[in-house]
Structure 1
Amino acid sequence: MVRTMSLLRALISTARMVRHTPLLADGLVPDNAVLLDAPDERLGPALVAAALGDHEPAAKLLATTRGAAEWEHRDRYTVRLASFALSRDEWLADWLARAPHDPDALLVRAELAVRRAWQSPARAERLRETGPLIAAAAEAAPDDPVPWRIALDHARGTRAPHTAFEALWEQAVRRSARHYGCHVSALTYLSAHGYGSHRECFDFAEQAAEDAPMGSTAQALPLTAAFAYLLSGDTSCVRPERIDEAADRAIALSAACPTADPWPAETRNLLVHVLLARGRWTEALAEFRRIGPYATSFPWASVSDDPLGRFLDARDGVRLEVAAMIPLRGRAGHRASRGHYA
Structure 2
Amino acid sequence: MRGQRVMWPFRRSNRRMAVPTLTVDPTERDPTARALREAAERRDWAAIRDLLTPVIDPDDHAFYVTAVAHSDGVQDWIGEWIEAEPRSTLPVLVRGARAIYWAWEARTSGRASQVSQDQFKEFWRRLRLAENCLDEVVDRDPDDTTARTFLVMSARGRQVDTDEANRRFGEVVTRHPWHRIAHEQMLQYRCRKWYGSHEEMFAFAREAVAKSPAGSALGHLVVVAHLEQWLDLPVGEDDEYLDDDAIRAELNAAADHSVRHPDYRRRPGWASVHNTFAMGFSKVGDLRSAAGQFEVIGDQVTSWPWQYINNDPAIPFVAWRDDATAAED
- TM class by shorter-chain length? 0.7 to 0.9
CA distance in 2, matches of 1:308, 1:140: 42
Task: State the match for 2:259 in structure 1.
Answer: 254
Task: State the match for 1:52 in structure 2.
Answer: 42
Aligned residue among 288, 294, 310 for 1:304 = 310
Task: State the match for 2:280 in structure 1.
Answer: 274
Q: CA deviation at 1:161?
A: 1.5
Instruction: Please say which of residues 249-258 and 277-286 is displaced more in the overlay.
Output: 249-258
Task: State the match for 1:204 in structure 2.
Answer: 204
Q: Number of residues paired by the alignment?
A: 291
Task: State the match for 2:8 in structure 1.
Answer: none
Task: State the match for 1:96 in structure 2.
Answer: 82
Task: Describe the shift of the 1:264–1:133 C-alpha distance in structure 2 as closer, same or farther (beyond 3 A).
Answer: same
Task: State the match for 1:215 in structure 2.
Answer: 215
Q: CA deviation at 1:277?
A: 1.1
CA distance in 1, matches of 2:167, 2:268: 34
Tell me, yes or no, if structure 1 residue 191 matches structure 2 residue 166: no
Do the aligned residues in 2 keep the contact of 1:199 with 1:237 (CA within 8 Å)? Answer: no
Tell me, yes or no, if structure 1 residue 159 matches structure 2 residue 159: yes
> Taking every aligned residue pair, what percent have the same amino acid on both sides?
23
CA distance in 2, matches of 1:88, 1:144: 21
Q: CA deviation at 1:314?
A: 2.8
Give, as a single letter, the amino acid of the residue that structure 2 aligns with 1:54.
D
Tell me, what secondary structure is at the counterpart of 2:44? Answer: coil
**Which of these two proteins has the greater Rg computed from alpha carbons?**
1
Task: Describe the shift of the 1:193–1:233 C-alpha distance in structure 2 as closer, same or farther (beyond 3 A).
Answer: closer
CA distance in 1, matches of 2:248, 2:60: 27
Structure 1 unaligned regions, length at least 5: 1-12, 18-30, 324-331, 333-342
Instruction: Please say which of residues 196-205 and 122-131 is displaced more in the overlay.
Output: 122-131
Q: CA deviation at 1:82?
A: 0.5
Q: Which runs of 4+ in 1 moved over 6 A?
A: 236-239
Instruction: Please say which of residues 128-137 and 210-219 is displaced more in the overlay.
Output: 128-137
Task: Describe the shift of the 1:194–1:307 C-alpha distance in structure 2 as closer, same or farther (beyond 3 A).
Answer: closer
Task: State the match for 2:227 in structure 1.
Answer: 227
Taking the TM superposition and a 5 Å limit, the aligned residue runs for 1:2-151 are 36-37=25-26, 38-65=28-55, 68=56, 70-84=57-71, 86-87=72-73, 92-120=78-106, 121-122=119-120, 123-151=123-151
Do the aligned residues in 2 keep the contact of 1:288 with 1:315 (CA within 8 Å)? Answer: yes
Do the aligned residues in 2 keep the contact of 1:226 with 1:243 (CA within 8 Å)? Answer: no
CA distance in 1, matches of 2:126, 2:310: 27
Task: Describe the shift of the 1:276–1:134 C-alpha distance in structure 2 as closer, same or farther (beyond 3 A).
Answer: same
Structure 2 unaligned regions, length at least 5: 1-10, 107-118
**TM-score normalised by the chain length of structure 1:** 0.74
Do the aligned residues in 2 keep the contact of 1:244 with 1:278 (CA within 8 Å)? Answer: no
